[in-house]
Amino acid sequence: MSGQHPQYLKQWVLDPPAEAIDIRLPRQDEAEPAVGKGFEVELGKFWLNPETNKFVRWHERYLVVYSQSLADAAIRGQQQRINQAIAALNALSSKAARRPGTTGTESRKHSQTLPC
């Protein structure tokens, strides 16, 4: 979760306060699948001006959007980083096993406890 209010965003995603609507590109045909979906949340804000001792009030709009292609790209990137980390750990493990004076059992024990 990101943004200024991650706790709000988490709540909005898990229990949306409004119905999500399809998001389409400006010239996208209605027959094509939407590029995403989302909803808008408006929150009232205020600030006390210490010089005048008066409140300043305004509204902020938060747009909560979901894109399947962006989610797929994030998942692919995360999986690639996990695979690279596992390969690096396996390379370290095999180097330790080939070192003179070691049996390699310690490094094999550690590599077997890693979640995949």
- Summarised one tens digit per residue, pLDDT across range 38-75 is 999 999 999 999 999 999 999 999 999 999 999 999 99
Domain parsing of the chain, residue ranges: 1-66, 77-116
Name the DSSP class of 21: E
Find out whether 24 and 37 touch, Cβ atoms under 8 Å. Answer: no
Q: What is the DSSP string of 30-69?
A: TTSPPSEEEEEEEEEEEEEETTTTEEEEEEEEEEEEE-HH
- Summarised one tens digit per residue, pLDDT across range 4-20 is 678 888 899 899 999 99
